[in-house]
Amino acid sequence: MVDDETEIIQLMSIYFNNEGYKLLRASNSLKR
């Protein structure tokens, strides 16, 4: 259970980090 949970948390954090990066890139391009 614990291993599965940590794996899911890692995958979700990686996914959200990628999404956040895309959002930052988009907002930066809009400001320029």
SS3 per-residue string spanning the chain: CHHHHHHHHHHHHHHHHHHHHHHHHHHHHHHC
Q: Rounded CA gap, 31 and 9, in Å?
A: 32
Q: Rounded CA gap, 31 and 2, in Å?
A: 43
Q: For residue range 1-32, what is the model confidence (pLDDT) as tens digits?
A: 678 999 999 999 999 999 988 888 888 887 76
The structure tokens listed for 12 are 């979700």
pLDDT, residue 5, reads: 93
Nearest CA to 25 among 6, 5, 13, 17? 17
